[in-house]
Structures are given as C-alpha cells and as structure tokens.
Amino acid sequence: MVRNIEGKYLPYHEHEPEQPCWMFLSEIFQQEHPLFKNMLFLEGCYFYSNIYIIVGEYLTIVDPGCDHTVFEPLFQRPEYAPGDIQKIVLTHKPPDRPMGALGLLRYPTVRSNPQLEFILHVDSPVEIKRVIRQLGARLTEVKGGEILDLGGFDWKVVATPMHAIDGISMYHAATKTLISGDMALPYSMSASHKQAGGWVDKYPLGMRSLVEFDIDNVLPCHGLPITPSSRKVVKASCRAVLPNIFKSISERVP
C-alpha cells in the first residue's frame, strides 16, 4: 500500500477499498513502535479525507471524514465503542472533516461524554465552534507550537495555513511522523481553498515550517501513508508549488 516518491502512484479508482478496511500503521509500515501498533488508518474514498485513530486509554480521532457510517464496522468489535471517543482533531475546515465529526454525535454515548474535546485552529469557522460549545463539549484552539497529548503520545502542532487558513499539521518526534493535513504533495497537489481562506502564496511559509522537521513518515489527508522518502516528498512539494505561487502573484499585479 505504501508509496514513496520514487514509486508509481495509482489513480484513486485503482485502489479504492470495496468496504471500510481499518488497518494499524504497524501493518502498513512494518514497524513495531507503540504508536504504529496503536494507530488505525482508514483510506478516504473518492478524495474524501483519510481517518486516523489513536488507540489508548481513550480514542483520539484525527479528521473523522464526512461519513460517520465508516466507523460502524469498527464499533462492532468489542474493544472499541463510540463512548471511548474523547478527542477529535480537525486539521482544517472544508466539509470532508467537520461533517464526519457531526455525524459521530449521532451516538448518544459520544454526545453525553463529559470528556469529549474538539481540537482545531483558532481561525477555524465560528459556526463550528458555536456548535461545539452548544453541545457542551470542550474546545481547544491551537495556533501552532503547542504539544498535544493524544492517547499517551506527544504531538507538536504546526500551523500550515496553505490549503485553508486554519490548516494544521502535527509532528511526532519519536517516530519522525507527520500528520500533514492537506499540505501539497507532488502526486496530489492540493489547491488553495479560497472559500476557506487559503491562498497559494501562503504555501512557502507553511512548507518551510515542515521542512525544518526530520520526517520519515507522512500521514496525509488524501492518498496512502508515505515512507521512507517522506522528507523528499515535502521538499519536492515545496518546489512543485512555486510556479503556482508566481502565477497567483502575477494575476494580482495590475
């Protein structure tokens, strides 16, 4: 399943799962680090967001996608339950992330969990924040630089206001792993989402903040996890987006 920068990337329809197939990252990366042994991955269908779940004393969901029904096969297992969800991280605001979070609130044990916490960027839409507060859930707003304890693993928040103004990535130093959000990748260039406050000329700042990290593994929002050439992927992404930046600037110059 894993593709590196030298490998051929298959079009989405060639590797679409026929049904939700949750896998631990240890199965994908063939690495036995506790994080990978306790982190589930579900590939998003038809360009919808991938979903990552960190399994610890509670469940942390990173980008719950747009269809809450994909969790049903998981919740049919005795070791997982909706009431175990304690933290939900949204890497940015386009609808293939918040919609899945709202769908999870259909489960009464999720809505009634007093420990339920949403983590998102401070510039995320006020409408989403209002809904979270009305539900009585905890709201943690981040700017970048914070260290989050997610299921017993420390992740550093990195502000990446590229695709959307409220975009964040997260870095796990011990495994050199980056949850990249919708950062650009050479095989799946993520255009700026202007309705979400994203502009292509913001990419250099976001990409520069990422290349400072020692990255072995990238967990993107779209496409398959990437290893071991992930740092090359990040650098290549930075180079690939430069023509779009120059074009965007030239279009705005009278």
Q: Using one digit for the tens of pLDDT, what is the confidence trace for 53-106?
A: 999 999 999 999 888 888 999 999 999 999 999 999 998 765 555 677 888 888
pLDDT for 224 equals: 83
**Single pTM value for the model:** 0.80
* Cis peptide preceding 228, ω within 30 of 0: yes
CATH of domain 12-252: 3.60.15.10
Burial of 30 (0-12, 13-18, 19+ CB in 10 A): exposed
Domain ranges of the chain: 12-252
Residue 194 has pLDDT above 50, yes or no: no
Give the mean pLDDT of 128-136: 88
Could you give the C-alpha distances from 38 to 33, 84, 151, in angstroms and in order?
Answer: 9, 14, 9
The pLDDT tens digits of the residues spanning 9-47 come to 334 344 444 555 899 999 999 999 999 999 999 988 766
Percent of the chain with pLDDT over 70: 67
Q: Does 195 or 30 have the greater pLDDT score?
A: 30
How many Cα neighbours within 13 Å face the side chain of 232? 10
| pLDDT attached to residue 12 | 39
Contact indicator for 113, 16 with CB cutoff of 8 Å: no
pLDDT at residue 206 in the model: 66
- If you average pLDDT over residues 212-225, what whole number do you get? 86
Q: What is the DSSP string of 41-58?
A: EEPPSTTPPPEEEEESSS
